[in-house]
Amino acid sequence: MKAVILCAGEGTRMRPLTYSLPKHLIPIANRPVIEHILETLKQAGITDVGIVVGPNTQTSFQNALKDGSSLAVRITYIVQENPRGLAHAVSCAQGFIGEDPFLLYLGDNLLEEGVRGLVEKFERSGADAVITLYPVSEPSHFGVAQVEEGRIVKLVEKPARPVSNLAIVGAYAFTPTIFAAISRIRPSTRGELEITDAIQRLVDDGRLVLPYQISGWWRDVGRPSELLQANAQLLEGISTRVEGVISRDCAVDGEVVLGKHSRIRNCTLIGPVMIGEGASCLDSKLGPNVSIGDEVMVKGATVSESIILTGAEVEGVAISRSLIGRGTIVKKSRAKEVHSLLLGDHCRVELGDD
């Protein structure tokens, strides 16, 4: 079984950070989102992966992941030249898939329980498609499925009057019959080829389309708030591992991961906290739910519920629910107030006293 990960979106909801870094390469728990997905696929026994990228992001993905061998997968890059919807993105991968069944995964989604159960149900059932569903409180914001007698009988994209509360989550299992279905649909009112319309075509053709309802959490990390929540949820699973140096004048409460050559002095750490390699933290309070990348410097700061990317510097400020890009500098002479920031790469912000 192969897999296709859709990563061609421009990440407009994550700008300005995504002007220089595709959202799928933003790290959470100090690992790019796409690597968490690849690990999920490996756990389900899938190692032959096609990644659908945009023409402007292909190089970024290739530089980050190369051929996938370092992650024990084999990656093929598939370029979607013009974004025309999810179904169109899937059709771009037809040559890669050939006659094989495949798992489709939206590259900005994370599932706590992974996709092993989905794959097992697909292989056991002989279905043409198995669709992952999750009960939500506001189904009109999602594609929604109606289930009768254990089969999906109707799908509607963002309905004004939802047929159920079962949202369609970003993982699907298909046989190649989905490509013929895609070829027979027309653009929606949004001007896009919707994957829900293609699945509905399978249903209308009498094909067996089954639901798979997940438990655990599901995150669409295409927004900063969801990305930070996913970071916190992944950090819940860490166990303390210290490869750098935490000086005796530090106070530590909870689980902390500290990378090689990192030094923590006169700090309070409230886990879970994850700190990469070569970082320096002095006279600061970190946590909970903080991920700090490699070569980051934090001095005289308070940081909680935040992600700080490689090479950034945070000094003299109190920040929470913030996402700080690579090489960005945030400074203030004294931390009087708490700030919430979303900064792209290589910025400089100085926050003066009121």
Judgement on whether residues 149 and 182 belong to the same structural domain of the protein: yes
pLDDT at 192 over 90: no
Judgement on whether residues 82 and 176 belong to the same structural domain of the protein: yes
Task: Give residue 335's pLDDT.
Answer: 47
DSSP state string for 103-138: EEEETTEEETT-SHHHHHHHHHHT-SEEEEEEE-S-
Q: What is the DSSP letter of 321?
A: S
Q: Which CATH number does the domain housing residue 195 bear? A: 3.90.550.10
Query: What is the rounded CA–CA span in Å between residue 30 and residue 33?
Result: 9
Judgement on whether residues 18 and 105 belong to the same structural domain of the protein: yes
Given 234, 256, 286, which residue is the final one in a domain? 234
* 135 phi-psi bin (left φ>0, alpha ψ -120 to 50, beta other): beta
Of 58-72, 150-164, 296-310, the range with the lowest mean pLDDT is 150-164
Task: Give residue 352's pLDDT.
Answer: 61
Judgement on whether residues 174 and 65 belong to the same structural domain of the protein: yes
pLDDT at 24 over 50: yes
Residues with Cβ < 8 Å from 165, sequence gap 6 or more? Answer: 135, 136, 137, 139, 144
Task: Give residue 351's pLDDT.
Answer: 65
DSSP state string for 192-204: S--HHHHHHHHHH
Who has greater pLDDT, 293 or 162?
293
Task: Give residue 161's pLDDT.
Answer: 85
Q: Can you say whether the dihedral through the CA atoms of 44, 48, 52, 55 is positive or negative?
A: positive
Q: Which CATH number does the domain housing residue 322 bear? A: 2.160.10.10
Q: What angle do CA 208, 45, 6 make, to 5 degrees?
A: 70
Mean pLDDT score of the chain: 90
Q: Are strands 166-174 and 129-135 parallel, antiparallel or unpaired?
A: antiparallel
Judgement on whether residues 80 and 151 belong to the same structural domain of the protein: yes
Judgement on whether residues 215 and 274 belong to the same structural domain of the protein: no
User: How remote is the C-alpha of 88 from its chain's centroid?
Assistant: 21
Query: What is the rounded CA–CA span in Å between residue 212 and residue 152?
Result: 10
Task: Give residue 340's pLDDT.
Answer: 67
pLDDT tens string 67-97: 999 999 999 999 998 888 899 999 999 999 9
| Contact yes or no for 214/114 (Cβ under 8 A) | no
Per-residue confidence band for 331, with pLDDT thresholds at 50, 70 and 90: confident
In terms of DSSP H, where are the helices of the chain?
Answer: 33-43, 58-65, 86-91, 94-97, 116-125, 177-182, 195-204, 224-235
Per-residue confidence band for 187, with pLDDT thresholds at 50, 70 and 90: confident
Who has greater pLDDT, 333 or 121?
121
pLDDT at 342 over 80: no
Query: What is the rounded CA–CA span in Å between residue 245 and residue 43?
Result: 33
pLDDT at 349 over 70: no
pLDDT at 174 over 80: yes
pLDDT at 307 over 90: yes
pLDDT at 191 over 80: no
Judgement on whether residues 229 and 313 belong to the same structural domain of the protein: no
Judgement on whether residues 250 and 196 belong to the same structural domain of the protein: no
pLDDT at 336 over 60: no
State the average pLDDT over residues 101-105: 97
Task: Give residue 240's pLDDT.
Answer: 96
Task: Give residue 14's pLDDT.
Answer: 76
Judgement on whether residues 78 and 17 belong to the same structural domain of the protein: yes
Task: Give residue 343's pLDDT.
Answer: 67
Of 110-114, 304-308, 314-318, 344-348, the range with the lowest mean pLDDT is 344-348
The predicted model scores a pTM of: 0.89
State the average pLDDT over residues 227-232: 94
> Token digits for 242?
């210290």
| Nearest to 297, CA basis, from 285, 313, 284 | 313
Residue 15 sits in which domain range?
Answer: 2-234
Task: Give residue 36's pLDDT.
Answer: 94
Query: What is the rounded CA–CA span in Å between residue 240 and residue 256?
Result: 5
